[in-house]
C-alpha cells in the first residue's frame, strides 16, 4: 500500500464547476500536510498547507481529518488556468522528507 | 533573488554509464533534498543534505549518492545507470528543518533519459 494515495483521475470539469480531490495517508505519525500543484513538465509548487482546522485561500479550501487520515482539496469556480496535476503531500517527521501521492490530474474545459 | 537552479536540464545516457546532476539552492537556504519523479508518478524522496552531510535517505540503492558543498550547493550521482533510472530529478531547498520552516522550493529539474 502506498503511504499517500490519490485518485489519479483525470477529472474533466467545465469552467465554473466545483471540484473536490481526496487523499488518504497511512502513517499516523505524519505531522504536516500540503497540496502542491504541478503543471505539465514543470516543477511542483506549493499551493497550500493543510491544517486540522481547515484553511481557505481564495477559491481553494483544504481540510485535514486526522482521525480518518484523510485530506481534501476543494476548488470552487474552476478556471481554465487551474488545469494541472495536484499532489497530496505528507511530511511524516516534520523534517522535510515529503511523501507525495501519485497526483490527481484536473482538466478544466471551456 | 534566484530560486533553485539545476543543471543540466536534459541529458541522455546509456545503460551502465554514470551521471552527475547539480543543484544550487535558493539564496538563504541551507538544506537540499533530491527527489526522483518517474512519468505519471509523484516525486519520491532520494536523500537530504544539511551541513555537508546526508541527514535522511529514502529507499534508493547505493548507486545513488550525493554531496553538499560548503556553499550549500549539491550534486546527485547515479552509477551503473539502468533504464528504470529515466526520470525527472528534482532538487528542493529549504531552511534548516529543525526550525519547522520545512516549506520546500523546487528547481525545474533535470530530465534524464537512459537508453
Q: Do A97 and B43 touch (CB under 8 A)?
A: no
State pLDDT tens for residues A84-107: 999 999 987 767 789 999 999 999
Determine contact, residues B90/B34, Cβ cutoff 8 Å.
Answer: yes
Contacts 24+ apart (CB under 8 A), B11-15: B11/B110, B11/B111, B11/B112, B11/B113, B12/B112, B12/B113, B12/B114, B12/B115, B13/B81, B13/B112, B13/B113, B13/B114, B13/B115, B14/B81, B14/B114, B14/B115, B15/B81, B15/B82, B15/B83, B15/B114, B15/B115
Q: Do B102 and A103 touch (CB under 8 A)?
A: no
Which chain B residue has its CA at the smallest distance from A44's CA? B106
Identify the band that residue A30 occupies on the pLDDT scale cut at 50, 70 and 90: confident
> Residue range B41-56: average pLDDT?
94
A8 or A78, which is more confident?
Answer: A78
Determine contact, residues B25/B107, Cβ cutoff 8 Å.
Answer: no
Taking CB atoms and an 8 Å cutoff, what residues of chain B touch A100?
A: 35, 42-44
User: Could you tell me which residues of chain A have a Cβ less than 8 Å from any Cβ in chain B?
Assistant: 4, 8, 32, 42-46, 49, 87, 91, 94-103
A39's grid cell? 503543471
pLDDT at B66 over 70: yes
B33's grid cell? 533534498
Residue A105 to chain B, least CA–CA distance (Å) = 10
> Residue range B9-29: average pLDDT?
96
Amino acid at each position: 500500500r502506498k503511504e499517500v494515495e490519490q485518485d489519479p483521475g483525470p477529472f474533466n470539469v467545465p469552467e465554473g464547476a466545483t471540484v473536490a480531490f481526496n487523499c488518504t495517508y497511512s502513517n499516523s505519525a505524519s505531522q504536516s500536510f500540503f497540496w502542491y500543484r504541478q503543471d505539465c513538465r514543470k516543477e511542483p509548487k506549493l499551493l497550500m498547507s493543510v491544517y486540522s482546522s481547515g484553511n481557505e485561500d481564495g477559491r481553494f479550501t483544504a481540510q485535514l481529518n486526522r482521525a480518518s487520515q484523510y485530506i481534501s482539496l476543494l476548488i470552487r469556480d474552476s478556471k481554465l488556468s487551474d488545469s494541472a496535476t495536484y499532489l497530496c503531500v505528507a511530511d511524516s517527521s516534520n523534517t522535510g522528507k515529503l511523501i507525495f501521492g501519485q497526483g490527481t490530474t484536473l482538466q478544466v474545459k471551456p | 533573488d534566484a530560486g533553485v537552479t539545476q543543471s543540466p536540464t536534459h541529458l541522455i545516457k546509456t545503460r551502465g554509464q554514470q551521471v552527475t546532476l547539480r543543484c544550487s539552492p535558493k539564496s538563504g537556504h541551507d538544506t537540499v533534498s533530491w527527489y526522483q519523479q518517474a512519468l505519471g508518478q509523484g516525486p519520491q524522496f532520494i536523500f537530504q543534505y544539511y551541513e555537508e552531510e546526508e541527514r535522511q535517505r529514502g529507499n534508493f540503492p547505493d548507486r545513488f549518492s550525493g554531496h553538499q558543498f560548503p556553499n550549500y550547493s549539491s550534486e546527485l550521482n547515479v552509477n551503473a545507470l539502468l533504464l528504470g533510472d529515466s526520470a525527472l530529478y528534482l532538487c528542493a531547498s529549504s531552511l534548516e528543518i529543525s526550525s519547522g520552516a520545512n516549506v520546500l522550493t523546487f528547481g525545474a529539474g533535470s530530465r534524464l533519459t537512459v537508453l
